[in-house]
Amino acid sequence: MTQPKKEKAAQVAVYVPLRQLFSYSFKPEDEAKLVPGVRVVAPFRNRENVGVFTGFTETDIELKEIKAVLDTAPIFNAHLMKLALWAADYYIAAPGELFRGIGPREELKKKVVYEKTAAQPGRLRENKKRILDALKERLGAQTLAAKCGLTVTELDKAAKSLVKSGLLQKREEYYLSGSELAAQEEEEAECEKIIDPATYTAEQNAAIEKIAHDIEMKNGAITLLEGKTGSGKTEVYIALCKKALAAGGGTILLVPEIALTFQFVRRFRARFPDDIAVLHSGLTPARRREEWRRISDGRARVVIGARSAIFAPMENLRLIVVDEEHDGSYKQSESPHYNARDLAVVLGGLTGAAVVLGSATPSLESYHNALNGKYALCRLTQRIDNRPMPAVRIVEEDEDGERLLPAAVIEKIMERMGRGEQSLVFINRRGAASRVKCRVCKEVVGCPNCSVSLTYHSNGAKLLCHYCGYQIPVPRICPACKAKELFTYRGTGTQKVEEFLHGVIPKAVIERLDQDTAPSREKAFGILDRFEKGETEVLVGTQMTAKGHDFANLTFTAIVSADDYLSFPDFRSAERTFGLVTQAAGRTGRGEKGGEVIISGATGHYAIRHAVQHDYQAFYADEILARKRAGYPPFSRLIGIMFDDINEERLKAAMLKLAREMPPLPPGVEPMGPVEALIYKIRNRYRWKMMLRGKGSKALHEAALRIEAAVDKNIGISIDVDPYGFL
């Protein structure tokens, strides 16, 4: 029996949430246009979808045909294709969804196009003659109608007859919206007037020399740059960027928060005025498209951005810098759950670019890799000009609860104001009160869509859910027992601290930086810019204020409720606490005036104890022992699986069945759970979770897929490889 002949087919990552590539046939005239990285129009389930062509295969199955090739040249270059496909495979993600998320934001559109044939017309009516006379070139329906003085309806009616008689050809053409250029945006408004330092410290020189060699050799080496806050890591990045440019290559610099791009862009644009491009999710679609083009055609050779900038289409990449590499913001919370820090390491291997992971508080995994020789380690142990680290002391919170902040904090803020200096009050919780409780029945007012309490925001007197956005005015009667206006407001947030400070220091110029006051990057940039210029005396904020900022006149920081993270049921809680306290304290005393830090609400936990001493090595020694005893990373790998359903009973039944009838898992994989998620309900969907622990990625991936296949298809499932937070 003869085998069916196999035909050449195109593989496409279609922009749909399915974890596979799809095969399509194609027109012979399109074969030369099909280069990996171009976008195509592919029919999928009775719809026309955009997808990315990834390569050719062979099949004997009858296939649907690609309708159009949208790009004349690849939008994703060769190493970007490899990185994206690797990420989709490793993170068990849909490749099409990943490509859609990382590329320019463009919408598929379709238009009708008319073109004359070679047939010669006979006698025609006037409107038909006008149509043929106007068609010296191929034209869209609207353009042709306007040229002929007809409506589109009149054109369509007349054209039908011309098409039928063979004088006119009509077809549909596909294109992507977004040819308009972006307006200049705020990041480009200013740049700092910075002069290169006359000399680098010996430690800076050693780091620059070592990594410059890696840039020259293009060996993909990874260096962990551990440097105390204020030790000059940014100057090292700038020196290395110069080396990369001199070698004819480009640089990608990642920062953990969009708000940080503002300061980095200003500093780098002062040194490289014509080479900077910015990529992050806060850009308008038009601006993102323009920046993408500038990078891909070589006009911009230094890319600064948040997580998604790791996918910048940079040719001849020589240097990748991940600033604040420990930060959890590099891990994407929604699917695909990639970690940009880890992808930077992969990209270095694909391109030969030198990879620099910078932090004052490195992740345990990165420091463990450095100590074991997988990464090189360069250390900056002193601040610039040997400036001292700020003095840190712990004070007790006010036991009777009458004062929101300790008296010592108020005194220090007023003292700094008298000297023309600035203060920062850091508390990692938004709102005025984290819960509102009835005095009669003791019921906490909760969100009807999520299993969390509503947070009180005094601006507008509303209760807000920070998970689904549900909000209501502060109720006049208790929803549970109907008691009237008998509520107590518990917990402290940024808004409450700001209001308290306005009350006790009415003349102070105070601003607040959190997601409520800065919902857009422009507002965040404005608040930070005013503080940097000295227009604000006191800044109250969440972790947005603790990351990477350099304020020369900031000499006092208060850290409120420092041990909040330690109460989280998460093996990284100590690491997060140490990092946040150290980073928040590190914003202080970076200029010539020195600084002081007060921590309130602190326990005797080693994370806070070592943060007070600015001693990362001591913290690492204690924490690595705790991780080893518990068997958590870096001594194992994890995959988190979240199950959710709108039907609570169906989900519970499915989870109990899974626990009873767990499918056979590969050797060495340990299942933990399933159990109810800590936040049991979000947006009216109930949630259970489980964790898989093991040594090898391949076995863990296989285990996750077996569990997914064993669960009722009505249950929503999200797989998170190497989870950072899992509540």
**What residues does 426 pair with on adjacent strands?**
541, 559
| 630 to 206, 275, 276, 326, 422: CA distances (angstroms) | 37, 47, 45, 21, 43
Of 613, 663, 434, 421, residue with least CA distance to 531? 421
What is residue 439's predicted lDDT score, i.e. its pLDDT?
84
**What residues does 354 pair with on adjacent strands?**
319
Which one is predicted more confidently, 164 or 404? Answer: 404
DSSP label of 117: -
Q: Hey, what are 639's tokens? A: 């995959």
467 — pLDDT class (breaks 50, 70, 90): confident
pLDDT exceeds 70 at position 335? yes
pLDDT exceeds 80 at position 133? no
Q: pLDDT for 170-207, tens place per residue? A: 677 888 886 444 444 444 445 555 556 658 999 999 99
Asked if the bond preceding 569 is cis, omega within 30° of 0, the reply is: no
pLDDT exceeds 80 at position 534? yes
Mean pLDDT confidence for 504-515: 91
What is residue 652's predicted lDDT score, i.e. its pLDDT?
97
CB 58 within 8 A of CB 9: yes
Pick the range with the lowest mean pLDDT from 29-38, 99-108, 239-248, 334-343.
99-108
Of 576, 603, 112, residue with least CA distance to 397? 603
Which one is predicted more confidently, 491 or 377? Answer: 377
324 residue type, one letter: E
The fold of the 391-429+492-615+623-627 domain, in CATH, is Rossmann fold (3.40.50)
pLDDT exceeds 60 at position 132? no
Which one is predicted more confidently, 145 or 723? Answer: 723
Of 267, 276, 301, 311, residue with least CA distance to 98? 311
Q: pLDDT for 597-616, tens place per residue? A: 999 877 789 999 999 999 99
pLDDT exceeds 80 at position 298? yes
The fold of the 7-105 domain, in CATH, is GIY-YIG endonuclease (3.40.1440)
Mean pLDDT confidence for 490-517: 87
727 residue type, one letter: L
Across 289-416, the runs of DSSP E, i.e. the strands, are 302-305, 317-323, 354-359, 376-380, 391-395
The fold of the 109-176 domain, in CATH, is Arc Repressor Mutant, subunit A (1.10.10)
CB 203 within 8 A of CB 381: yes
Mean pLDDT confidence for 7-13: 96
Residues of the chain with CATH 3.40.1440.60: 7-105
Mean pLDDT confidence for 624-634: 96
Strands across the sheet with 354-359, in order? Answer: 276-279, 302-305, 250-254, 317-323, 354-359, 222-227, 376-380
| Percent over 90 (pLDDT), the chain | 58
Residue with tokens 């304290």: 585
What is residue 192's predicted lDDT score, i.e. its pLDDT?
54
Burial of 484 (C-beta count, 10 Å sphere; 0-12/13-18/19+) = exposed
Mean pLDDT of the chain: 87
Distance CA 637, CA 692 (A): 8
What is residue 431's predicted lDDT score, i.e. its pLDDT?
60
421 — pLDDT class (breaks 50, 70, 90): very high
Q: What is the DSSP string of 536-586?
A: -SEEEESGGGSSS---TTEEEEEE-STTGGGGSSSTTHHHHHHHHHHHHHH
Residues of the chain with CATH 3.30.70.1440: 637-721
Calculate the CA 521 to chain-centre distance.
Answer: 14
Phi, psi angle pair for 43, to nearest 5°: -70, 135
Q: Between 1.10.1040.10, 3.40.50.300, 3.30.365.10, 3.90.1150.10, what CATH number should domain 188-386 receive?
A: 3.40.50.300
Q: Hey, what are 3's tokens? A: 């085998």
Mean pLDDT confidence for 435-449: 86
Q: pLDDT for 208-265, tens place per residue? A: 999 999 999 999 999 999 999 889 999 999 999 999 999 999 999 999 988 778 889 9
What is residue 165's predicted lDDT score, i.e. its pLDDT?
65
Distance CA 336, CA 190 (A): 35
551 — pLDDT class (breaks 50, 70, 90): confident
SS3 call for 436: strand
Residues of the chain with CATH 3.40.50.300: 188-386, 391-429+492-615+623-627
What is residue 461's predicted lDDT score, i.e. its pLDDT?
78
What is residue 589's predicted lDDT score, i.e. its pLDDT?
80
665 — pLDDT class (breaks 50, 70, 90): very high
What is residue 114's predicted lDDT score, i.e. its pLDDT?
62
| Percent over 70 (pLDDT), the chain | 86
Distance CA 334, CA 720 (A): 9
CATH number given to 637-721: 3.30.70.1440
Q: Hey, what are 509's tokens? A: 């110029």
What is residue 183's predicted lDDT score, i.e. its pLDDT?
42
Which one is predicted more confidently, 451 or 625? Answer: 625
Distance CA 22, CA 15 (A): 11
pLDDT exceeds 70 at position 124? no
